[in-house]
Amino acid sequence: MDIGKILLATDGSEESEKALDYTLYLADIFNASVVALYVSEVHFPLTSLLPIYEDAILEIAEKTENSFKEKFDEASKRFIKRGIPFSSEIIRDGTVEGIIKTADIEGAGLVVMGKKGQGFISSSLIGSNTIKVLRQIDAPVLAVRSKGDTHSTEIKKILVPIDISDTSVSALAEAISLAGKLGAEVIAVYVFWLDGTAYEIPPRLVDELIERSKSELSKIVAAESGPLAKSRDNEPGVKITSQVLHGISPTHVLREYAEENSVDLMVVKTHGRTGVSRLLYGSETEKIIQESPCPVLAVK
C-alpha cells in the first residue's frame, strides 16, 4: 500500500480530532503530504425559500469557516514540526461531493475522516454520507472512532474479515502491505453466520461446516499472502494468523473479537462480485464501520 497524499476531511468534532492524530501518524510513516479539508454546507435552496435569512445564514457560514482557518493554522504546526507538508482547503459544497471532488483533484491516496460528526443529522460524517463516499470514491477511506485521548494511534494488530464464498472481495493483500509498513500483525477472520435455520441443523454438521470453513480460509490466506508476508532486506516478515468465528450477527462477532483482542484497525473491501456496489456481507459492512471499536479502513 502506497500513500503519497492524505486528505483529512474534518468537521471539528471529537472524532475528527482523533482522525487528525491518525493522519499525523500515517503521514509520518508513509512520508506523505497532508491536505486538511472542511466542507461548508451552505443550503442555498433554503436561502432561496427564505431570502430574508440569506445574509444571516451566510454570516454563520463565514464565522464557521473562519474558525476552521484558525484550527487549520494551529494544526499545521504539528505537521510542520514533523517535517510533513501540510495545506488546507475550505470549500462550499455538499459534504460527500466536496470530499470526493477534492480527493480526486488532489490525487489523495487515502481519505481520513471521523465516524461521527457534530450534531445528529446533517453534520454527521457516518451513515449515509460515509457509505456514499465509500461507494463513489477511488481512494481508500479510513473511518476513525475516538476512544479517548489516552488511546494510542499506533497500529500493531490488523483484523481482516474475509468472505470465503467470494475471494474477490478480500482485503488481505492490502492489509498485509500496510502491516509490513507499520510493523503490525494481521488476523484473517471468517464469520460462520448462524442464522435462524442453523439451529435446525444437527450440531455435528455445524461443527463439520466450521472445520471446512477453517480449511477454506487457510487456503485463501496461503494463496493471497504468498510473498507479501515474506521479509525484505532481512527485516521480520508479517505475522499472519487466521480464525473462524461464529454467531448470528457478523458485526457483533467482529466487534466483540476486536474488543477482546485489542485490535487497532479493521480492513474491509467495499466492492464484491459485481464490481459496483455490493458490500461485504451486504449491509453488514455499514454496520461494521458504525460499530467497530477501532478505526476501519475501507478499500476497493
Q: Do 5-144 and 157-299 fold alike per CATH?
A: yes
For the segment(s) 157-299, the CATH number from 3.50.50.60, 3.10.180.10, 3.40.50.620, 3.10.20.30 is: 3.40.50.620
Residue bearing the bigger pLDDT, 271 or 182 = 182
For the segment(s) 5-144, the CATH number from 3.40.50.620, 3.40.50.150, 1.10.490.10, 3.30.40.10 is: 3.40.50.620
Residue range 190-201: mean pLDDT, rounded: 69
Q: Residue 294 CB: number of other CB atoms within 10 A?
A: 20
What are the extents of the domains in the chain? Answer: 5-144, 157-299
Comparing 66-70, 138-142, 222-226, the range with the smallest average pLDDT is 222-226
Say what the pTM is: 0.83
pLDDT number for residue 46: 54
Q: How confident is the model at residue 145 (pLDDT cuts 50, 70, 90)?
A: confident
| Distance of alpha carbon 93 from alpha carbon 40, whole angstroms | 6
Beta bridge partners of 266: 159, 296
In order of 196, 204, 232, the CA distances from 287 in angstroms are 20, 31, 37
pLDDT number for residue 148: 54
pLDDT number for residue 120: 36
Q: DSSP 3-state assignment of 86? A: strand
pLDDT number for residue 267: 94
Q: DSSP 3-state assignment of 160? A: strand
| Distance of alpha carbon 132 from alpha carbon 171, whole angstroms | 20
Residue bearing the bigger pLDDT, 139 or 117 = 139
**CB-based burial, 137-164: b 16+ in 10 Å, e otherwise:** bebbbbbbbbeeeeeebebebbbbbbbb
Residue range 108-132: mean pLDDT, rounded: 64
pLDDT number for residue 116: 62
Residue range 86-112: mean pLDDT, rounded: 93
Answer whether residue 281 shows pLDDT above 50.
no
Residue range 128-143: mean pLDDT, rounded: 81
